[in-house]
C-alpha cells in the first residue's frame, strides 16, 4: 500500500456520509490529505474551512477517494483513460464497503466511470459532479459547490452546514 493510501486511511470516518471522488493523486507528489494540493486548498475554501479542516471533514463523515489509486495525470490521454476504465471495479468494491449517502465527482471526465462503479456497487442515486478546480475552473468549481454543499448529508449532530 502506498504512503498516500496510508495517509488517506487515517482520515477515513467510521461512517462515510459523503464521498468525494477524484481521478487520482497527482504525479507531482502533492496529495489532498497531505494538505499540499490544489484540490485541498479549493475544497477547504469552498467549505470555508479552518486550519482544522481535515478533522472537520472527517467528523462530518466526508471522505475523498480516487477512481485510480496511482497517479495518472502525467500519462498520455489514451493511457490515462485506460487506467480509469480499468479502475472501475476496484472503486465499485470500495463503494460497496463505504456505502456513502452521497457522492461528489470532482472531474467531469470521470463521471461515466464513477457512474459505472456506482451501478456495480448497487448505488442508485444521482451523484453530484463538479469541474476540477484547476486550469482556470476555480470559479466554476466554487459556483457548483455553493449549490451542492447545502444538500450534502453529514454525520448526525454535525454543525457543518452552519458555515
Q: What is the pLDDT of residue 163?
A: 40
Share of the chain above pLDDT 70, in %: 94
For the chain, the domains span: 16-153
Q: DSSP letter for 127, please.
A: P
Task: Between 80 and 85, name the one with better pLDDT.
Answer: 85
Grid cell 489532498 is found at: 32
Q: What is the pLDDT of residue 159?
A: 59
Q: What is the mean pLDDT of residues 25-46?
A: 91
Q: What is the pLDDT of residue 160?
A: 55
CA-to-CA dists, residue 45 to 17, 40, 94, 121, angstroms: 20, 8, 27, 31
Q: What is the mean pLDDT of residues 13-19?
A: 96
What CATH fold (topology level) applies to the domain 16-153? Answer: Uracil-DNA Glycosylase, subunit E (3.40.470)
Confidence tier at 70 by pLDDT (50, 70, 90): confident
Q: Is the pLDDT of residue 35 over 50?
A: yes
Cα 18 to chain centroid distance, Å, stands at 9
- 109-131: pLDDT as tens digits: 999 999 999 999 999 999 999 99
Amino acid at each position: 500500500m502506498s504512503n498516500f493510501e496510508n495517509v488517506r486511511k487515517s482520515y477515513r470516518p467510521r461512517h462515510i456520509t459523503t464521498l468525494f471522488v477524484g481521478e487520482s493523486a497527482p504525479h507531482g507528489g502533492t496529495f489532498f490529505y497531505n494538505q499540499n494540493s490544489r484540490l485541498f486548498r479549493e475544497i477547504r475554501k469552498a467549505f470555508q474551512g479552518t486550519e482544522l479542516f481535515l478533522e472537520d471533514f472527517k467528523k462530518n463523515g466526508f471522505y475523498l477517494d480516487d477512481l485510480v489509486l496511482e497517479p495518472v495525470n502525467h500519462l498520455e490521454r489514451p493511457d490515462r483513460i485506460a487506467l480509469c476504465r480499468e479502475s472501475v471495479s476496484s472503486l465499485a468494491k470500495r463503494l460497496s464497503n463505504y456505502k456513502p449517502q452521497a457522492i461528489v465527482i470532482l472531474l467531469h471526465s470521470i463521471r461515466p466511470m464513477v457512474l459505472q462503479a456506482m451501478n456495480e456497487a448497487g448505488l442508485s442515486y444521482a451523484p453530484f459532479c463538479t469541474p476540477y478546480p484547476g486550469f482556470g475552473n476555480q470559479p466554476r468549481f466554487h459556483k457548483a459547490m455553493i449549490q451542492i454543499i447545502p444538500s450534502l448529508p453529514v454525520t448526525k449532530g454535525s454543525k457543518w452546514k452552519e458555515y
